[in-house]
A and B are shown apart, each in its own frame.
Chain A
Amino acid sequence: DAGVIQSPRHEVTEMGQEVTLRCKPISGHNSLFWYRQTMMRGLELLIYFNNNVPIDDSGMPEDRFSAKMPNASFSTLKIQPSEPRDSAVYFCASTLAVGVDISGNQPQHFGDGTRLSIL
């Protein structure tokens, strides 16, 4: 079975440019998470969706970040304008939430990540 698919794997761009990261969750999963990983802060949850609806975006750093999930098989994370401090590895993960639970009792499956460098 195909896992979570992220693209691109690597992105290098100049400060001020728009960056769009893409994620295709595992088929049948109903919850999707965007994480950012840095050495300093570790693995941070940015936003998560349940049945395509954003549930909690309190981890989104600022208005420059936005995320959408137009359908069950696709999500994007956009940064506009990008800044050097946005450089990090961005992971997408999905799970099949049972009942009202979102992530507490189901394993999360991570994509290979997008390594983003803003110059």
Chain B
Amino acid sequence: QQPVQSPQAVILREGEDAVINCSSSKALYSVHWYRQKHGEAPVFLMILLKGGEQKGHDKISASFNEKKQQSSLYLTASQLSYSGTYFCGTAKNYGGSQGNLIFGKGTKLSVKP
């Protein structure tokens, strides 16, 4: 049930773009994205609730394809501050224990000057 993230790790030069994918074998109600810097807590980035929904703020955006049970996180013109491990968390259904998040193993992003 754990969503699968790809790639496991990516190294970028400042200004380059990256895409992180999250896929599930189960039907999804929502997808959450979090970023965790080394030694710190995960920090919420965004939630996608509807099939085909796309969200973004600043230069980080995401899409959610409900039919394909997939979500992608897009980082454009990466900055040094984008470095960290990105986690997707998926919820299978609305409400109760089915609304629990199951997190992927993360994608480690390193942005170099």
Contacts and interface: CB of A to CB of B under 8 A. Distances in A.
Chain B binds chain A: yes
A42 B97 contact: no
Main secondary structure of the interface of B (DSSP, over half): mixed
Nearest to A6: B41
Given A42-B106, A101-B95, A108 B101 contact: yes
Interface residues of A, number: 24
Interface residues of B, number: 29
A51 to B, nearest CB: 13
A44 B95 CA distance: 19
Interface in B18-43: 29-30, 32, 34, 40-43
18 contacts: A42-B104, A43-B103, A45-B100, A45-B101, A45-B102, A55-B97, A56-B100, A100-B94, A100-B96, A102-B96, A102-B100, A103-B99, A103-B101, A106-B47, A108-B101, A110-B34, A110-B42, A113-B41
